[in-house]
Structure 1
Amino acid sequence: MILTVTPNPSLDRTYEVPLLTRGEVLRATSDRMDPGGKGVNVSRAASAAGHRTLAVLPLGGAPGALVAELLAAEGIDVAPVRVSGQTRSNISVAEPDGTLTKVNATGPELSAAESEALLAAVRVHSTDADWIACCGSLPRGLSPQWYADLVVRAHAAGARIALDTSGPSLLAALRERPDVVKPNAEELAEAVGRPLKTVGDAVAAAEELRALGAGAVLASLGADGQLLVAETGVHFASAKVDVVRSNVGAGDASLAGFLAAGGEGPEALAAAVAHGAAAVQLPGSVMPTPSDLDPAAVTVTDDVPLDRVLTEPAA
């Protein structure tokens, strides 16, 4: 069972437009509303793939109630922690060429009591969890140490923990030795404090995170593929994608695929890339089902192209 923790969930609206032009009245060709937040998306992807999952998240106001309703409609179990603030609403505008413009709200400020209630909910529901996926930015009111405290509690409950966050929260949590961390290229560059221009640069940065405490590093390099740097070695995978419709939630789908496939080794990396590649070809933050996956399009190798220049170098 994959338990997810999303400290700052959202209600996401996605509009598809022919062209985004500033100052103009735009007519959307389609629009959709989804429950959002990185951990929420991991639960949605795991559920779509037929795996058991439970989403722990703070919810407040009408948007929070709608997030819970939308998750229930997808058959996802929710363990809500009621908060006084209102769950944030985000807007994404997608263009036909795959360009995505996002406006993300800040979200509510959690009190000390609400923070502790969220940790307590994780403790209560983690007894039968194989993995706990802690994902996304922290809301106002939670210190960068919050994820580190959660890692300690997760390990005490006997669960493995995957962490997808960045900045001070990531660095603080590394000291408590999370089993897997999942940065993208920009987050990886930020963590080590230098630009990443090649795949080899990304490998070196991932090794540094392992030295700081990460059990394994699953690093997304965007269109260039993904790296897994772990005890089993360094593995690289990529997949051919014909049309990109939206990259919202693609990294979260990738993490869900990785954990559902066991969370270690080249086979799990292949599942991660298959899920991520399928997700970017779907609208909004729609999560892929097994019928959307194309495992044959994924290539996994231990012959890592260290000298390959990243399509989008990370500063």
Structure 2
Amino acid sequence: MSKKIFSGVVAVCLNPALDVTGSLASLNSGTLNRVSDSDVFAAGKGINVAKVLANLGAQTTVTGFLGEENANAFERLFSDNKIIDAMIRVPGSCRNNIKLSQHDGLTTEINFPGFSVPPSALDALGHTLSRLAQEHDLFVISGSLPSGISPVRLAGWIHFLCSLGKTVYFDSSGEALSSGINAKPALIKPNQEEFSEWLGEPDGSITDFRNYSQRLMATGIENVVVSLGDEGAVWLRHGEWIKCDALDVDIVSTVGAGDSLLAGFCWGYLQGWSQQKTFRFAIALSASAVSQVGVGVSDITDITRRVSEVNLSPI
């Protein structure tokens, strides 16, 4: 009997959002601020990852939850980017996130609450994941949890997929991150602040991360990627840390940079690339993301060119 070949990737977005973005010279609290440029994007971490992967050429399916009242923007994004829509509609609206980018590269985010997921929709997602697992190997679960979903439930979905032999990449924060780690996904990708919180080190440094290698390996997670903003990222694999420096680019907006980084790791997995080739591509992809407004791949040739500029080193 021949081995079944899996293709494509499933991006799981439990808490999508409409991102209202704006740019201004500087943000001053307690007074009037005038935005020079603005736009609205269908987003959320899992949605962003799906869009980047689809732009790269991956067969991409997205599942999770969409609020019925403002699902149209997301449906247009899926159609425009040839993303397969397996989202479950729930009563209410997806949340609104305001992201204000200053000319110095700093971004201020204000995230509002959205829909609450009813129990019936939780069961529906479980059935959808089971169905998609019949034809897919790679699942990326990314983002925060909406009302109605507990960290324990999230961990249960990760554990279920892993028990089927699926590869799960996971990106979240707080209690969701802690619960997800316990379910042993193949890769986690917190940022420096999120990871420091999990370690119990409020100002965790690269040295702290290295010192916690044994604790990380004891979790049974094979890959730990920590994004460091303008310092690049570090990757723990097989007990060894590798650091990748950030590329020198003009920063327009940091929105979606971490999602693009995660998409780069997914793309490397799908292509069967080595660790170093995957890391270099992911960093180049993230650098491209911060040099534009909005998430997505606008110029693959520029990303490919930047790969050779990426510097890797052991730490």
Is this a same-fold pair by TM over 0.5?
yes
Per-residue deviation, residues 195-225 of structure 1 (Å, max 9, x unmatched) = 3453221223454233223221011111111
Q: 1:299 to 1:135 in 2, by over 3 A?
A: same
2:280 equivalent in structure 1: 270
Q: Structure 2: how far apart are the matches of 1:282 and 1:71?
A: 21
CA contact (8 A) 1:110 1:139 kept: yes
Is 2:153 aligned against 1:143? no
Q: How many residue pairs get matched?
A: 303
| 1:61 equivalent among 44, 62, 68 | 68
Question: Which stretches in structure 2 are left out of the alignment for 5+ residues?
Answer: 1-7
Q: Structure 1: how far apart are the matches of 2:13 and 2:135?
A: 19
Displacement of 1:37 after TM fit? 0.8
Q: Structure 2: how far apart are the matches of 1:20 and 1:138?
A: 28
CA contact (8 A) 2:189 2:226 kept: yes
Per-residue deviation, residues 226-247 of structure 1 (Å, max 9, x unmatched) = 1110117321111322311111
| 2:301 equivalent among 291, 294, 298 | 291
| 1:279 equivalent among 273, 285, 289 | 289
Is 2:93 aligned against 1:86? yes
Q: 1:185 to 1:206 in 2, by over 3 A?
A: farther
Question: Which stretches in structure 1 are left out of the alignment for 5+ residues?
Answer: 305-315
- Local SS of the residue matching 2:196: helix
CA contact (8 A) 1:59 1:65 kept: no
1:3 equivalent in structure 2: 10
| Farther off after superposition, 259-268 or 141-150 | 259-268
| 2:41 equivalent among 20, 27, 34 | 34
Is 2:201 aligned against 1:201? no
CA contact (8 A) 1:165 1:183 kept: yes
CA contact (8 A) 1:7 1:138 kept: yes
Percent of aligned pairs with the same amino acid: 28
Whichever residue aligns with residue 82 of structure 1, its letter is R
| 1:123 equivalent among 130, 152, 158 | 130
| Farther off after superposition, 16-25 or 55-64 | 16-25
Per-residue deviation, residues 96-151 of structure 1 (Å, max 9, x unmatched) = 21121211111211111111212222221232223100011111111111221111
TM-score, normalisation: structure 1: 0.89
Whichever residue aligns with residue 212 of structure 1, its letter is T
RMSD across aligned positions (CA) = 2.0
Whichever residue aligns with residue 61 of structure 2, its letter is L
Is 2:312 aligned against 1:300? yes
Q: Structure 2: how far apart are the matches of 1:81 and 1:9?
A: 12
TM-score, normalisation: structure 2: 0.89
CA contact (8 A) 1:49 1:288 kept: no
- Local SS of the residue matching 1:297: coil
| 2:257 equivalent among 236, 250, 254 | 250
| Farther off after superposition, 116-125 or 273-282 | 116-125
2:244 equivalent in structure 1: 237
Q: Structure 2: how far apart are the matches of 1:258 and 1:232?
A: 18
Per-residue deviation, residues 264-307 of structure 1 (Å, max 9, x unmatched) = 622221122111111111113344541341112211122x2xxx
Q: Structure 2: how far apart are the matches of 1:173 and 1:19?
A: 37
Is 2:177 aligned against 1:170? yes
Q: Structure 2: how far apart are the matches of 1:151 and 1:232?
A: 23
- Local SS of the residue matching 1:145: helix
